[in-house]
Amino acid sequence: MATYGGTPKPEGGFELVSWFFMRVSGLLLILLVLGHFAVMHVINSVDDVTFEFVARRYMTPFWRSYDLLMLTLALFHGFNGARILVDDYVHTRGWRVFTYALIGTLTAIFLVIGGLIIVTFQG
């Protein structure tokens, strides 16, 4: 493995893609979450965030796409981080497969539930 800024960088294949994804998704998540925080807590008072506020926001495809992108990136970023932790700490093959299946299933469930709420929300 080559080093880049003190962090080992994989030389190729899936682990290299995973390594790049963690950096790119982390940066995008910081920007998306800061934007979300600004809109929901700085520009608008917390007292103004009601069902009607969310309904008005979700009338435009931009905000639905924004929230869906933030949800998707957060879930896959978290899944990838958990996958790396499993690689580091779960040494028995059977437990590793079980743990991968568990975190993958939870990620899929949360993505489906969150995505359905965002996409099918009726104000």
> Which tens digit of pLDDT belongs to each residue from 32-63?
999 999 998 899 888 888 899 989 999 999 99
**Which domain range does residue 95 map to?**
2-120
- CA-nearest of 82, 62, 64, 61 to 72 is 64
* Total tally of structural domains belonging to the chain: 1
- Return the CATH number at 109: 1.20.1300.10
Residue 29 to residue 48: CA distance in whole angstroms: 24
Task: Say if CB 69 and CB 106 are below 8 A apart.
Answer: no
Question: What confidence tens digit (pLDDT) does each residue in 70-112 have?
Answer: 999 999 999 999 999 998 899 999 999 999 999 999 999 999 9
* Whole-number Å distance between alpha carbons of 104 and 107: 5
